[in-house]
Amino acid sequence: MSAPNKSFDPVEVTTLSPEALAGFVQEAIAAFAAASNLEELKEARLAHTGDRSSLALANREVGALPPAAKADAGKRIGQARGEVNQALESRTAELEAARDAALLIEESVDVTTVMPATRGGRHPLTTIQEQVADVFIALGYRVAEGPEIEAEWLNFDALNIAPNHPARTMQDTFFVGNEDSGVVLRTHTSPVQIRSMLTQEPPIYVICPGRVFRTDELDATHSPVFHQVEALVIDKGITMADLKGTLDHFASAMFGEGIVTRLRPSYFPFTEPSAEVDLQCFVCRGASIDNPEAACRTCRSEGWIEWGGCGMVNPKVLIACGIDPEEFTGFAFGMGLERTLMFRHGITDMRDMVEGDVRFTRAFGLGV
Amino acid sequence: MKVPVSWLRDYVAIPESLSGRDVAELLVGVGFEVEGVETVGDVRGALVVGRVQSIEELTDFKKPIRFCQVEVGSSNGHVDTPGIRGIICGARNFAEGDLVIIALPGTTLPGDFTIGTRETYGRISDGMICSQRELGLGDDHDGIMILPAGSAAPGDDAFPILGLGDEVLDIAVTPDRGYALSIRGIAREVAIAQGIAFTDPADALPELPESNGTPVDVDSEDRAACDLIVLRTLENFNPAAPTPDFIKSRLAAVGVRSISFAVDVTNYVMFELGQPLHAFDADKITGKIRVRRAVAGEKLETLDHVVRELSTEDLLIADDSGALSLAGIMGGLTSEISETTTRVVIEAAHFDAVDSAKSSRRHKLSSEASRRFERGVDRMLPPVASARAAELLIQYGGATYVGLAGVETAPDLVHVSFDPEHPGRVAGRSYDVAATKATLVALGCHVDDAKSPWDVRVPTWRPDLSASIDLVEEVIRIDGYNNVPTRLPVAPKGAGYTAKQKLMRRSGLFLAGRGLAEVRNYPFMGQSEFDNLELASDATRRHALKLANPLSDEQPFMRTTLLPGLFAALTRNTSRGFNDAAIFEIASVSLPTPAQPATGITNPPRPSVNGRPSEGDIAQLEALLPAQPTYVAGVLASGAWSDAIELVVSLASELGVEVSVRAADVAPWHPGRCAQVVLGDRVIGTAGEIAPRVNENFGLPKRTVAFEVDLDALVLHANVTPSAPRIWTFPIAKEDIALVVAKNVAASDVLDTVRVAAGELLEDIRLFDVYEGAQVPEGHKSLAFALRFRAADRTLSAEEVASARQAGIEAAAAKFGASLR
Ligand SMILES: [Zn+2]
């Protein structure tokens, strides 16, 4: 507090002396620093920058100074105020940051309490069909479909499966109505190939995934209702080399870069030559063969896994579909999708794919 | 087909260095599937041939015992009696001078039974005289094994004589390769694979003595079904003659039980050459043998003691008294070889493959013979095989030869025109022409390569080779499929998935994203399920196709609805503790027309396969099939009735289809909580809560909810290229209104009325609350709607909004008596 002016000489106005002003500034800074929250800082601000503060009172006395001294004193007060305001600002920022930090700490939660929602899922037999189709769509193929209840002619006769073939009995095939009805539950997706050839001019590049039926009892490795995917290519100059190249590409796409297939001679009425398709073991890549140290459960240490059947389309099949075998040749192959899923995903029991337990489907999410 | 390697060695000089596994590898290389390699007998140590020098009968014991002095060769005798061993034996079926099998001390027999030198019955027994059973060679325990006189010398190693240590391959034979159901056929393949010489056992007709007497005569009345039959008659056969051990052990190795010498011979020759044979007791044959079709009402008791009603399509071997055997399948009891048979007729014939297959199937009777005839038997074999059998009966059974009778239609030998470049065109590489010819010759073809294309006469044992492509397969197979190169063909530009395929996929993704788990059920259902669904007796969903041979008699129908399968899957889940299970399925159902009877028609069209069927033929085939639309259905164990409806409406919306719902009463739903889903003017599905009674019938949780929709119909109307909306940015005006209407008024009707009346300023309207209770009159409900108004070009004035709102309210009041709450 300044005493009433005794003189108009500025040097005699003690409140305006540099020392006094420095003192005011120091007091203010100390008071700001002492404020431990924004409320206390507000009080300190009012005390040190308000109308009744030392600096404000000192400023009032400037007016009484002679003009020569006014400028000088005004400048000093301005400086002092600047220092005080700067200190106030920085302390305000500090305390606001502290307040915000405290608030965020107070609002903290236990982030580990979050549980996943009960999720749905798509059956792996659905999504593996899509995965296979994706591989062949990328090559320019078309996905062909056909009915599950099928004309016997399309399921057997057109595929060079003679009327006396053992598969064409109630022992192996479901007949609709009676054994002479001409209608069966398709035993393979091959009638879709026939439908493709009957409705489309070559070149034909199709992939046919779907549900098929044979009269097996359900057990850990068989199901009377199962799924296949078949491919059919009819074009000029198609050879067995094209078949092998396509199978190798398919194997790589499904099981990893560099995985190949091998062919073993076999017999199917609808292909000639015919072969069994073995898949190189994608787990050990053959390293388990004759190597008990590195035994492989996936391929039983044989290095190869039986995967499907294939061959060059029998000219008789082409003829039955009105395609000239002198002009066009083709190949076809087919695999069981349950089996593929089983060895690829470690499914040990066929029944898991049949029963519809939500745990099974959910494990596969929206796709494989 | 089980194949002892030692038997193969009779016809192909397999190098001694090759093990059974090596031979298996050779066969795998040319395309056979070898399922296993087993070793015969589990004998370790020394087995030698012995000759019984003297027998001392010991009679002081409960049973008679023999102490034998046995010559065992100079190197195998006892130290004190060089060349001789004294051995105790309990069997009595041998005599001094017989050749027997001796297990020397230290030898271990099957069952881990080690022979030692021991004192027994007061003598030192210095080895063991073995029976077939003790050696693990069969069940024959009538006594010890006796080798044919002169067939070996004392001291000879008995292992090769008995086939012990022989390796047996188990080969899976594909149905086109009937010839491989014989040692002859497999030996040829081994020879080709290894590039070594093959001696065809069928090349030379065994030499038989001059005919002496009148053989049983024969005729074939059906030359298409039986173009060749040969009978060889023998007499003076000793019915007690034992089967020689080499035949017994080989039959045991291929898995055939020894029955009697005559029957064993027919089996032995069948395995050796591939020709099924049948042995008759000639004294039980009346008159002449004839091959003929059965007549109506005829019966035959076959060797398996089944009395079979014969079809007029069955081919028989018969005599003047009636049927003797089912040709090519199984013999009959009346003419069977017995323990008193002295006159034997060996029948060898060539039967049509299709005929044999049909008969075998008709009688559900598959035999070694029928398996071979179905796959095709070498047309040239019957004379050779019957002679081979006669030779064995004469040599080991004391029989004398009477003679041959037979009838034959000259065979058509199959010639194939073959371009030697053809294999290369199929494989995508070239094959050496000389090697190609060599392969065909090794297979048994006669190749005339002076002609172009080649004229190839295929061997009679390969009925599967009838066209050039068949020979191509053989050339590529023998060279090895591994030698075919690889190339990825370039397909023409593809168009990707069809819109329908993409929408099907999107539907599954949508439902799975909403928390439902997909299941894939069997498409079968039963009568009880129709009933449990509480379907009306004349409901169209009861018209289902019936399988002739269902997996289970409980479920003979093809499903017309996905719901029963989903219900069963849901109860499996809830019983396993998943009370909130929600599942769905996307699959086809089959909906026959009234003209398609559940039991099918009986005379379907069967177009020729010698060319493309006509459009008319194809249409006729299609007409056989029911409609098979794809449905989507879902079942929720713990959802609300509204969830089921909402899922359908939202799925439709996801596919860009606007559907509406209306109250309905459709089984199996709750009549008060059931909505039909309508697209245009067609009902495409149903959703809501399942009726309590149905829940009970299926064991479902209370208040299970479900939906089922024709997904094909949704997808057909999907909007796959929606137009972009204009996004107006003028301020929105929000108004909520609550309208009280009678309880039976459908909210959707009120909503539609308000929407239309409020005009184009109304951007959106949603129902957000339904209230029934004290605040509204009895029998009424309050519907709360949220209205959003916006204009394209201006900020709406309060008056404009109020007037649009009022128009909506008045329209609802006029149409439904709605009052503002
Ligand atoms: Zn492996």
Provide the whole-model pTM: 0.84
Kindly report the length of chain B.
Answer: 821
**Residue A215: closest CA among chain B residues belongs to which residue?**
B551
The residue type at B768: F
Q: What is the pLDDT of residues A84-128, one digit of tens each?
A: 999 999 999 999 999 999 999 999 999 999 988 888 999 999 999
Task: Select the residue of B470, B583, B618 nearest A356 (Cβ to Cβ).
Answer: B583
Look at residue A3 and tell me whether its pLDDT is greater than 80.
no
Question: Do the Cβ atoms of B517 and A126 come within 8 Å?
Answer: no
Sign for the CA dihedral angle at B149, B155, B157, B159 comes to positive
The per-residue pLDDT for B735 is 95
Q: What is the pLDDT of residues B47-67, one digit of tens each?
A: 999 999 999 999 888 888 999
Domain around B811: 733-820
The per-residue pLDDT for A13 is 63
Beta strands (DSSP E) in A22-170 are 142-143, 149-151
Looking at CA atoms only, how far is residue A222 from chain B in angstroms?
A: 13
Q: Do B520 and B454 share a domain, yes or no?
A: no
- Token pair 């029989």 is at which residue? B399
The per-residue pLDDT for A120 is 93
Q: Do B34 and B61 share a domain, yes or no?
A: no
Look at residue B151 and tell me whether its pLDDT is greater than 90.
no
Q: What is the CATH number of the domain that holds B761?
A: 3.30.70.380
Question: Do the Cβ atoms of B520 and A353 come within 8 Å?
Answer: yes
Last residue of a domain, one of B178, B194, B210: B194
Residue A209 CB partners (closer than 8 Å, separation 6+):
A129, A132, A133, A143, A189, A227, A228, A229, A230, A337
Contacts of A160 in chain B (CB under 8 A): 609
Query: CA–CA separation, A212 vs A227, rounded Å?
Result: 6
C-alpha pair distances (Å), B680 with each of B216, B417, B684: 83, 64, 10
Look at residue A10 and tell me whether its pLDDT is greater than 50.
no
The per-residue pLDDT for B140 is 63
The per-residue pLDDT for B383 is 96
Query: CA–CA separation, A133 vs A208, rounded Å?
Result: 8
**Residue B371: closest CA among chain A residues belongs to which residue?**
A166
Task: Select the residue of A139, A151, A316 nearest B624 (Cβ to Cβ).
Answer: A151
Q: Do B364 and B422 share a domain, yes or no?
A: no
Residues with CB in 5 Å of ion ligand 1:
A 281, 283-284, 288, 296, 298-299
Query: CA–CA separation, B684 vs B511, rounded Å?
Result: 18
Task: Select the residue of A158, A205, A275 nearest B609 (Cβ to Cβ).
Answer: A158
Kindly report the length of chain A.
Answer: 368
Q: Is there a contact between B310 and B294 (Cβ–Cβ < 8 Å)?
A: yes
Inform me whether the C-beta atom of residue A172 falls under 8 Å from chain B C-beta atoms: no
- Identify the residue with better confidence: A1 or A266: A266
DSSP letter for each residue of B330-388: EEBSTT---TT--SEEEEEEEE-HHHHHHHHHHTT---HHHHHHHH---TTHHHHHHHH
Looking at CA atoms only, how far is residue B375 from chain A in angstroms?
A: 10
Query: CA–CA separation, A240 vs A273, rounded Å?
Result: 9
Q: Which helix (H) or strand (E) holds A191?
A: helix A190-199
Look at residue A11 and tell me whether its pLDDT is greater than 90.
no
Looking at CA atoms only, how far is residue A338 from chain B in angstroms?
A: 12
**Residue A274: closest CA among chain B residues belongs to which residue?**
B473
Inform me whether the C-beta atom of residue A356 falls under 8 Å from chain B C-beta atoms: yes
Question: Do the Cβ atoms of B600 and A262 come within 8 Å?
Answer: no
Contacts of B637 in chain A (CB under 8 A): none
Q: Is there a contact between A349 and A341 (Cβ–Cβ < 8 Å)?
A: no
The per-residue pLDDT for A195 is 98
Looking at CA atoms only, how far is residue B796 from chain A in angstroms?
A: 42
Residue B209 lies in a domain: no
Inform me whether the C-beta atom of residue A262 falls under 8 Å from chain B C-beta atoms: yes
Q: Which helix (H) or strand (E) holds B568?
A: helix B563-575
The per-residue pLDDT for A1 is 44
Question: Do the Cβ atoms of A122 and B508 come within 8 Å?
Answer: yes
- Percent of chain B, pLDDT > 70? 99
Q: How many CB pairs under 8 A join A and B?
A: 294
DSSP character for A116?
-
Count CB atoms within 10 A of the CB of residue A7.
8
Query: CA–CA separation, B258 vs B267, rounded Å?
Result: 9
Let me know if B504 is exposed, middle or buried by CB neighbors in 10 A (0-12, 13-18, 19+). Answer: buried
**CATH dotted code for A124-363:** 3.30.930.10
Q: Number of structural domains, chain B?
A: 6
Q: Do B317 and B375 share a domain, yes or no?
A: yes
Look at residue B7 and tell me whether its pLDDT is greater than 50.
yes
Residue B721 lies in a domain: no
Q: Do B259 and B324 share a domain, yes or no?
A: yes
Query: CA–CA separation, A103 vs A98, rounded Å?
Result: 9
Q: Where are the domains of chain A?
A: 10-110, 124-363
Q: Do B13 and B98 share a domain, yes or no?
A: no
Q: Do B51 and B156 share a domain, yes or no?
A: yes
Q: Is there a contact between A128 and A341 (Cβ–Cβ < 8 Å)?
A: yes
Question: Do the Cβ atoms of B517 and A358 come within 8 Å?
Answer: yes
Question: Do the Cβ atoms of A122 and B569 come within 8 Å?
Answer: no
Query: CA–CA separation, B72 vs B52, rounded Å?
Result: 9
Look at residue B41 and tell me whether its pLDDT is greater than 80.
no
Q: What are the structure tokens assigned to B448, written together?
A: 């005339």
Q: Do B26 and B56 share a domain, yes or no?
A: no
Q: Which helix (H) or strand (E) holds A262?
A: strand A261-268
Residue B594 lies in a domain: yes
Question: Do the Cβ atoms of B521 and A117 come within 8 Å?
Answer: no
Query: CA–CA separation, B653 vs B675, rounded Å?
Result: 17
The per-residue pLDDT for B685 is 97
Q: What is the pLDDT of residues B315-330, one digit of tens each?
A: 999 999 999 999 999 9
Q: What is the CATH number of the domain that holds B288?
A: 3.50.40.10
Provide the 3-class DSSP secondary structure of residue B289.
strand
Chain A residues 136-165 within an 8 A CB cutoff of chain B: 137, 139-143, 147-154, 157-158, 160, 162, 164
Q: What is the pLDDT of residues B571-601, one digit of tens each?
A: 999 999 999 999 999 999 999 998 888 888 8
Last residue of a domain, one of B408, B436, B465: B408
Chain A residues 195-234 within an 8 A CB cutoff of chain B: 198, 203, 205, 211, 215, 217, 224-225, 233
C-alpha pair distances (Å), B141 with each of A366, B58, B604: 66, 22, 59
Q: Do B559 and B678 share a domain, yes or no?
A: yes
- Percent of chain B, pLDDT > 90? 80
Q: What is the pLDDT of residues A173-206, one digit of tens each?
A: 999 999 999 999 999 999 999 999 999 999 999 9
Residue B727 lies in a domain: no
DSSP character for B473?
H
Burial track B271-304 (b if 16+ CB lie within 10 A, e otherwise) = bbbbbbbbbbbbebbeeebbbbbbeeebebebbe
Q: What is the ipTM of this complex?
A: 0.84
Query: CA–CA separation, B810 vs B807, rounded Å?
Result: 5
Region B784-799: mean pLDDT is 95
**Residue A205: closest CA among chain B residues belongs to which residue?**
B491
Look at residue B740 and tell me whether its pLDDT is greater than 50.
yes
Cis peptide before B201 (omega within 30 of 0): no
Q: Is there a contact between A310 and A332 (Cβ–Cβ < 8 Å)?
A: yes
Q: Do B756 and B799 share a domain, yes or no?
A: yes
Contacts of B587 in chain A (CB under 8 A): 211
Look at residue A9 and tell me whether its pLDDT is greater than 60.
no
Region B152-158: mean pLDDT is 90
Region B642-647: mean pLDDT is 96
> Ligand 1: distance of its center to the CA of A228 in Å?
23
Q: Do B267 and B401 share a domain, yes or no?
A: yes
Q: Do B292 and B226 share a domain, yes or no?
A: yes
> Ligand 1: distance of its center to the CA of A262 in Å?
15
Residue B264 lies in a domain: yes
Q: What is the pLDDT of residues B495-526, one digit of tens each?
A: 999 999 999 999 999 999 999 999 999 999 99
Look at residue A64 and tell me whether its pLDDT is greater than 90.
no
Inform me whether the C-beta atom of residue A353 falls under 8 Å from chain B C-beta atoms: yes
Disruptive mutation site among B519, B575, B584 for chain A (greatest number of A CBs within 10 Å):
B519
- Reported for A355-359, long-range contacts at CB under 8 A and 24+ positions apart, including other chains, are A355/B569, A355/B572, A356/B519, A356/B520, A356/B521, A356/B566, A356/B568, A356/B569, A356/B572, A356/B573, A356/B583, A357/B572, A357/B573, A357/B576, A358/A121, A358/B517, A358/B573, A358/B578, A358/B581, A358/B582, A358/B583, A359/B578
